[in-house]
Amino acid sequence: MTMISEYISYPFIQRALIASVMVGILCPFIGNFVVLRRMSFFSDAISHSAFAGIAVGALLGIDLSMSSILMAVIISFVIAFLSERTSLSHDTVIGVAFSGSIASGMLIMGMMKGYRADLFSYLFGDILAITQRDLYIILSVAILAIVTMLVFFKSFLQITFNRELARVEGINVRLFEYLLFFIIAIVVTVSLKIVGIILVTSLIIVPAAAAKNVASNMRQLFSFSSLFGVLSGIAGLAGSVYLDTASGPTIVMISIGIFILTLFRGRAV
């Protein structure tokens, strides 16, 4: 007990704990729509487009958070536009964007000289390196994203399950498609410092998938997913501190463990 209170007294642990709770709620909440729409590959493409944005920011000497967010939003809109205006399948467009983003990011990184330690906090995640500014950004994004999703919850659900029926009922499908893609892009990007580019999709998908195993209605789906996300974040943070392991992979492995438990529970029910 004394050891726990000792760790909690450190400001960087406090910031990490707050960040893990906020992202634990935010990512799975948005992740429910990703899972329901079978868009997991999309969130992966967005995280890697953020990698290209980080590379551009590092090369030009501008704020990495802002450059990654801008690039992620641009790529998400490009994916939405090409999916709508061309005969290519959604997966094909995402695959092209994914490949182009990671390749351009690697090329730009190769142009840089010297070692940039700050870049690795985005690549692999380092929740203990979260700053006060990062917390304000995550909190702002969480409030805006969740409030927007709740206000237009019915519309988002309708375009998720039946786009044609939603269009007949007078819903601006294109607007809500772009809005959803925008929100996913922002959420993915602000979560990078928690688990990194490589694993951020897991934080969005796995708690939502675990909730889907046990939820019997939409209310339970969104409640359980955020609960599982928070548990993963807190337990993963504690595990990484006590075991001296990387925070991102530890959080994701806890999340995977919860998913496995709910998988058996879902089958039992």
Q: What is the pLDDT of residues 175-184, one digit of tens each?
A: 898 999 899 9
Phi and psi at 93, nearest 5°, equal -60, -45
Global pTM exceeds 0.75: yes
Q: What is the mean pLDDT of the chain?
A: 84
Helix (H, G, I), strand (E, B) or coil at 58: helix
Q: Which of 60-69, 114-123, 199-208, 241-250 is the most confident on average?
A: 199-208
Q: Between 6 and 32, where is the model more confident? A: 32
Q: Between 6 and 59, where is the model more confident? A: 59
% pLDDT > 70, the chain: 93
Q: For position 130, what pLDDT does the model report?
A: 85
Reply yes or no on whether the pLDDT at 6 is more than 70.
no
179, two tokens = 């809005």
Which sequence spans correspond to the domains of the chain? 28-264
Q: Average pLDDT of 151-174?
A: 87
Reply yes or no on whether the pLDDT at 98 is more than 90.
no
Helix (H, G, I), strand (E, B) or coil at 63: coil
- CA-to-CA distance for 86 and 163, rounded, in angstroms? 18
Residue with tokens 């806890």: 254
Q: How many CB atoms lie within 10 A of CB 116?
A: 13
Reply yes or no on whether the pLDDT at 114 is more than 70.
no
**Domain over 28-264 is classified CATH 3.65.10.10:** no
Amino acid making up residue 139:
L
Contact call for residues 52 and 71 (beta carbons, < 8 A) = yes
The CA dihedral of 101, 107, 111, 116, to the nearest 10 degrees, is 60
- CA-to-CA distance for 134 and 8, rounded, in angstroms? 19
Q: For position 254, what pLDDT does the model report?
A: 93
Tell me, what DSSP letter sits at residue 86? S
Which of 77-81, 134-138, 192-196, 222-226 has the lowest average pLDDT?
192-196
**DSSP assignments along 106-155, one per residue:** HHHHHH--S--HHHHHHHT--GGG--HHHHHHHHHHHHHHHHHHHHTHHH
% pLDDT > 90, the chain: 23
Please state, in angstroms and as integers, the Cα–Cα distance from residue 236 to each residue in 195, 231, 249, following that order: 10, 8, 8
* Reported confidence tier of residue 115, pLDDT bands at 50, 70, 90: low
Q: For position 1, what pLDDT does the model report?
A: 46
Distance of CA 91 to the CA centre of its chain: 19
Q: For position 258, what pLDDT does the model report?
A: 94
Q: For position 2, what pLDDT does the model report?
A: 45
